[in-house]
Amino acid sequence: MSLEAAHPITSELKKMASPPTELDVGKSASIYDSHILVVDDSALIRELIGACLMSAGYTKIQYAVDGKNALEVIKDNVPDLIILDLEMPVMDGFELCKQLRAQPETKSLPILIQSGRDTAADITRAFEYGASDMVVKPVKKYEILARTKVHLENKIFVAKLTAFHDRVASELEQARHLQLDICPTPAELDSYRDNFGLDIGWHYEPSSELGGDIGGILPISKNKIAFYIADFSGHGVAAALNTFRLQTWLSAAHHLYQQPDTLLSELNNFLNRNLPSGSYATMMFFCLDIEKQELTYSAAGSQPPLMQIPNQAQDFHLCSSKGMPLGLRAGWEYSLIKLPFKINSKLMLYSDALVEVCTKTGEFLGDEGLRDEVSHIWQEGIAPDAILSQLVSRFHHRLGTGAADDLTIIYLENKGHKGHE
């Protein structure tokens, strides 16, 4: 229903077409570049609203005479805001709202209803069909301009926020790929089997986009290979950047790969100088001598690794991982541990996330719990990949929807190197 008959349109039009005042033209000029579609079957109301918008500085105004006509206009050019009458022939405002909300490109388009229908039932229905806001006829210039401004500014703010969010998400995704690139590839793992007789499995999953866990394998010579696992305190971007810092430091410390204790001492001093107070990394660094079948390692407060020595015991046992986390105390000295690593010996390294999940009894799985579980499932004849999958699947089952920390699991088995069997 059109209500123009009730108003002195001519004088109103004159008033509305008056030059923009300071109130009309706000500081956020960009909203005045917005496309506005005015939908009303009354030519006079369309003209009245159009004049009102133009007086405020809006220039990109389009018109439609009913819902069907509006859909045609929107098909060619989706506006930034629709000012919509409810009662119109052919297709009314309710139906238009409903159709626009069903289409992805207009799902969140602001729709400002202007109508003479102001009963509670009408207003409820309009909002149920997807209206963003409502003003009641007769059209009041400052009301319609104020509402228009609010919705356009809101749309611009949301668009800016969405663009910012998308950019950050995309940058984090790229960073995540960089971090995943640090992990050994399946081809690299195959080459360690061929060249060093080591069966190696690797599982890494960061808790959010980025993580503070890192691990790596560093071949030293024909008969020696080093590997490590580390976890920076905290997670997210800062922890992830520290993993790259560690990797850079390690790549320049090749001469220390055969002396894990000296390596950790020097790395500890480096991190102590560079990390903020209270931040640290736990780490274990191993050097494996294939010829001697001997493992030499030093630890800085990591999770105790699990080891199984063939012909001694069927079960896995926990090895020592005691040591001051790196970065906390300058000048710290780390002890060197030597263990035999004969053919068929198995070693599993893992980050704390794996054991800090609750079991059925409501208690943390813990190192001992993991040891018992691994001893139980790591039976001869089962491929290590399958065992790793089982551990990961149990971890996710226990975690449920809870927030996870970064998870790293690395296993190694000495399958015997050609010439050393």
Partner 1 sequence: MQDSISTSNGSVTITIADKLTFEDHDNFRSLLKVIESEENNSCTINLKDLNTIDSAGLGMLMIAFEAAEKTGTSFQIHQPDGQVKRLLEISEFDKVMTIVS
Looking at beta carbons only, is 34 or 302 nearer to partner 1? 302
Query: Which residue from 98, 329, 342, 376 is in contact with partner 1, where contact means CB under 8 A?
Result: 329
C-alpha to C-alpha distance for 358 and 155, rounded to whole angstroms? 44
Who's near 14: CB < 8 A, 6+ residues apart?
Answer: none
Q: How many residues sit in the footprint of partner 1 (CB under 8 A)?
A: 23
CB under 8 A: which stretch of 140-148, 325-333, 370-378, 407-415 binds partner 1?
Answer: 325-333
Looking at beta carbons only, is 366 or 419 nearer to partner 1? 366
C-alpha to C-alpha distance for 232 and 271, rounded to whole angstroms? 11
The CB-of-216 to partner 1 minimum distance in angstroms stands at 20
The answer to the question of residue 215 lying near partner 1 (CB under 8 A) is no
Looking at beta carbons only, is 322 or 376 nearer to partner 1? 322
CB under 8 A: which stretch of 110-118, 167-175, 220-228, 277-285 binds partner 1?
Answer: 277-285
Of 417, 416, 408, the closest CA to residue 227 belongs to: 408
**Which H, E and C letters describe 256-312, residue by residue?**
HCCCHHHHHHHHHHHHHHHCCCCCCEEEEEEEEECCCCEEEEEEECCCCCEEECCCC
The CB-of-180 to partner 1 minimum distance in angstroms stands at 22
The answer to the question of residue 279 lying near partner 1 (CB under 8 A) is yes
Looking at beta carbons only, is 210 or 225 nearer to partner 1? 210
The answer to the question of residue 277 lying near partner 1 (CB under 8 A) is yes
Query: Which residue from 13, 218, 253, 324 is in contact with partner 1, where contact means CB under 8 A?
Result: 324
CA 229 to chain centre: 24
Query: Which residue from 66, 231, 261, 413 is in contact with partner 1, where contact means CB under 8 A?
Result: 231
Counting every residue written for the chain, the total comes to 421
CB under 8 A: which stretch of 94-102, 228-236, 265-273, 288-296 binds partner 1?
Answer: 228-236
CB 246 within 8 A of CB 274: no
- What is the phi/psi pair of residue 362, to 5°? 90, 0
The answer to the question of residue 278 lying near partner 1 (CB under 8 A) is yes
The CB-of-155 to partner 1 minimum distance in angstroms stands at 35
CB 421 within 8 A of CB 343: yes
- Determine the Cα angle at 130 with ends 125 and 131, to 5°: 80
The CB-of-207 to partner 1 minimum distance in angstroms stands at 12
Dihedral sign from CA coordinates of 108, 109, 110, 111: negative
Looking at beta carbons only, is 99 or 303 nearer to partner 1? 303
* Interface residues toward partner 1, by CB under 8 A: 231, 233-234, 277-280, 282, 301-304, 321-325, 328-329, 356, 364, 366-367
